Structure 1
Amino acid sequence: MFRVAAWGALAVVLIQLAVVLARYGLGLGAPWLQESAVYVHAALFLLAAAGTLARDGHVRVDLFYAGASPRRKAVVDAAGAVLFLLPVAAALLWLSLPYVGRSWAILERSREASGLPLVFLLKSLIPAFAVLLMVQGVAQLLRALAVLAGDAPAAAAATE
């Protein structure tokens, strides 16, 4: 997953470089190329967020968490999943479905004449992001509950 994300990041850089060279070096505008950078960038971040959460790669304030015992960390992780992660992801999914549905109903295209005709696919990344986060949130919650139940081997196996 992270290898794909690395290639996605490289693609964003190369596409943006091509946009800058075409615009300022050759005086050419390419809306489809600029939009493709946006599409890859959105896909990169929206689809890699759950994987980053799985690897504990998100930024957080470790003032209290870093020195905490495994049991206290499990309480924080479980509370975070139940009180914040899962409700926010569920709300995002619920609220994005009509938005994405309307886009699919008209097969929404770019507003630019030479832009990409795939806006409906771009918008589909929003509910996909929410679902992936919900799945990872449930996994995080189950792992924390296993630690709290004293099932350390199960919790260790869940992180591998």
Structure 2
Amino acid sequence: MQDENGISFFGALWNGLIWFIQNIAEAFYNFGYAITHPQLWLDWSNKEAIMRFVYYGGSVEFFFVIFALFLVLTAIGLYYRNFMWGMVRGLEGFANTTGRFFAWAGLLMVIQQIVIVFMQRVFTRPDMSFGLGIPFQMDISWFAEELKLYNAMVVCLCCTYTFVQGGHVRVDLIYAGISHKAKRVVDMCGAVLFMMPMAVLTWMYGWYFMWRHLIVPKPSASDTLDRLVAKSRALRWNVETIGFSPNGFNAYFLFKILLVAFAAMVFLHAIAFLYRSYLEYVEGPESEGKYLDKDSLGEGEEAYEGAH
């Protein structure tokens, strides 16, 4: 009985390995077919193309296309170290640029909150109106609830920027006391075992969560491509516009889009962090922080660097 269990275990392991290798090999064909037939998934005047886009965005095929591309870029980077540094600088630059731009949402949030207080308490107005020509006029409660969107932008789109800047809170039990190479090994393991899987799981959940609030019939992660294509005959856009209060903020579908954007940015930065950790491991302590574009609070504020 034990021998049979052992054989079945190793048989399942072997079949899983074969499946994994086959999907990597098929990823190159799938990628080539997708870019040579964009009308099958990008022509959104065709309802079937929309459903194909929905299916492939959260599919195993898409995951292995990304994974195969990652393997190819990693192989090139291992051979040409400057190419890997270029990818690190590009991905960190993307995180910094995005984060620095959307960090201004925090200022907008403060200004809008002050305006809301004045309009409610000083001018006793039930609504606010902005714009030239055709004004944008909504109830005060709409603008009050919209403040959550600014907060979500800061959280989702500035997360990797904060990571680059070293601004996340850390609980350090052993990291500070270990050697430079041991730190880089910990960083590489963290990127592969924690950051990447978390980003993939968040994407898989968030992708279908987003589309279920944009179209009907509602797609499901368990739906096959053929089933989704069949559903496309009844497809129509049904963007979520329901607020928590009668006159409250009614564009909550934007939060679903931000969730997907957050997962994508974390995955991309996990790659950047993995590459940086490997390069700093290979090149030694003198390469620590190489090409790192960190913000400065100005002369005399060195004690606060990394704490903002």
| Structure 2 Cα separation of the partners of residues 50 and 15 of structure 1 | 26
Deviation at 1:145, TM superposition (A): 1.8
| Structure 1 Cα separation of the partners of residues 162 and 270 of structure 2 | 12
Aligned AA for 2:276? R
| Structure 1 Cα separation of the partners of residues 144 and 206 of structure 2 | 25
Runs of 5+ consecutive residues of structure 2 not aligned to the other structure: 1-96, 127-138, 216-237, 294-308
1:15 equivalenced with 2:106 (yes/no): no
Q: Which has the higher contact order (CA 8 A, sep 6+)?
A: 1
1:87 equivalenced with 2:220 (yes/no): no
Aligned AA for 1:4? F
1:62 equivalenced with 2:62 (yes/no): no
Deviation at 1:63, TM superposition (A): 3.4
SS of residue in 2 equivalent to 1:91: helix
Give deviations 1:4-48, integer Å, cap 9, x for gaps.
244211111112222333344426361221132111111111100
1:41 equivalenced with 2:147 (yes/no): no
| Structure 1 Cα separation of the partners of residues 212 and 287 of structure 2 | 43
Closer, same or farther in 2 for the Cα pair 1:47/1:82, shift >3 Å? same
| Structure 2 Cα separation of the partners of residues 44 and 110 of structure 1 | 23
Structure 1 contact 146–155 (Cα < 8 Å) conserved: no
1:114 equivalenced with 2:235 (yes/no): no
SS of residue in 2 equivalent to 1:159: coil
SS of residue in 2 equivalent to 1:66: helix
| Structure 2 Cα separation of the partners of residues 17 and 75 of structure 1 | 47
Alignment of 1:135-146 (within 5 A): 135-146=268-279
Identity %: 30
- Scaled by the length of structure 1, the TM-score of the pair is 0.84
Aligned AA for 1:9? G
SS of residue in 2 equivalent to 1:118: coil
Deviation at 1:159, TM superposition (A): 3.3
The higher radius of gyration belongs to 2
Closer, same or farther in 2 for the Cα pair 1:120/1:7, shift >3 Å? same
Q: What's the Cα RMSD here?
A: 2.4
Aligned AA for 1:47? L
| Structure 2 Cα separation of the partners of residues 118 and 14 of structure 1 | 21
Give deviations 1:42-64, integer Å, cap 9, x for gaps.
11111000111122221111332
Give deviations 1:91-143, integer Å, cap 9, x for gaps.
00001111100112121113244344432223200010000000001110111
Aligned AA for 1:110? I
2:283 to 142, 151, 159: 151
Structure 2 contact 100–161 (Cα < 8 Å) conserved: no
| Structure 1 Cα separation of the partners of residues 275 and 100 of structure 2 | 27
Deviation at 1:66, TM superposition (A): 2.5
Aligned length: 159
